[in-house]
Structure 1
Amino acid sequence: MINLETELSFTASRSSGPGGQHVNKVNTRVILHFDVLNSKILNQHQKQVVLDKLRNRINKEGHLVIACEETRSQLRNKEIGVALLHQLIHQALKPAVKRKATKPTRTSKLKRLKNKKIHGDKKANRRKLDL
């Protein structure tokens, strides 16, 4: 069984934002790359679905790129990035629920007609009276 983590590559760089000396010395920002096109875990259909649904996060080479710099720990940022990748792929591969057509209820029809009558009476009261 091939694990998703075996297909990931990570790079680390210096994180932006406040943090003083720590931020200037330590590479805590983690950039995760997942090669969707050459993945052995996903079948051809799943690859196409992921490419379509996550196209804003996929670069020209077909890599899904996730950058994480939430914490000051490189390991924690790596874990957050992997969790986000799992979540994104799970959401992309989840089949869309088909909408069931429903009919309006009796109460909603009566309410609509009542509001329509009130609106019509309001407009009728604006007219000038014929004497």
Structure 2
Amino acid sequence: MARIAVTPEISIDEAELAFSFARAGGPGGQNVNKVETAAQLRFDVTNSASLSEAVKRRLERLAGSRLTKDGVLVIFAQTQRSQDLNRQEALARLLRLIATAAEKPKPRIKTRPTLAARKRRVESKVRRGETKRLRTAPPE
């Protein structure tokens, strides 16, 4: 089977993709009622041999509600009027999602506010408190 390149390091086997087709709504006239143009792409993330565990975890997080309980990513494309274009769109969306998941997140470096920043914060709080104090009614 052919392999589809996602990134220079990652490629997925075409056999891991399952396409099914359904009737789509939207523009298309009588064609919409007769032809199954909407494409549904299913990709089993949890059992994929093409992806590393780290990429799988990030992909599962990115997929959100498109991921089933079984770990299958479902992408539904129906914006185009032809089956082939919807199939290509669904595949492109999957490849974009995997490419995004393949990027390693930059580790956060903890920083502390400078002494000057802490002083400015306290001064602004004091000024704000003074403004609010002046709004109260004068004592009798």
How does the TM-score come out when normalised to structure 1? 0.76
1:60, distance to aligned residue in structure 2 (A): 4.0
Q: Which amino acid in 2 is paired with 1:113?
A: V
Corresponding position: 1:82 with 2:59: no
Cα 1:73–1:128 change in 2 (3 A) is: same
Q: 1-side partners of 2:139 and 2:53: how far apart?
A: 73
Q: 2-side partners of 1:10 and 1:63: how far apart?
A: 13
Larger Rg: 1
Q: 2-side partners of 1:52 and 1:107: how far apart?
A: 39
The Cα offsets for residues 47-71 of structure 1, whole Å up to 9 and x where unpaired, read as 4543455353222443211110011
Q: How many residues align structurally?
A: 130
Q: 1-side partners of 2:129 and 2:102: how far apart?
A: 50
Contact 1:2 / 1:40 at 8 angstroms: preserved in 2? Answer: no
The Cα offsets for residues 71-112 of structure 1, whole Å up to 9 and x where unpaired, read as 112111111111110111222333232222223246544432
Q: Structure 2: any 5+ residue segments left out of the alignment?
A: 5-11
Contact 1:15 / 1:23 at 8 angstroms: preserved in 2? Answer: yes
Cα 1:123–1:51 change in 2 (3 A) is: closer
Contact 1:12 / 1:31 at 8 angstroms: preserved in 2? Answer: yes
How does the TM-score come out when normalised to structure 2? 0.72
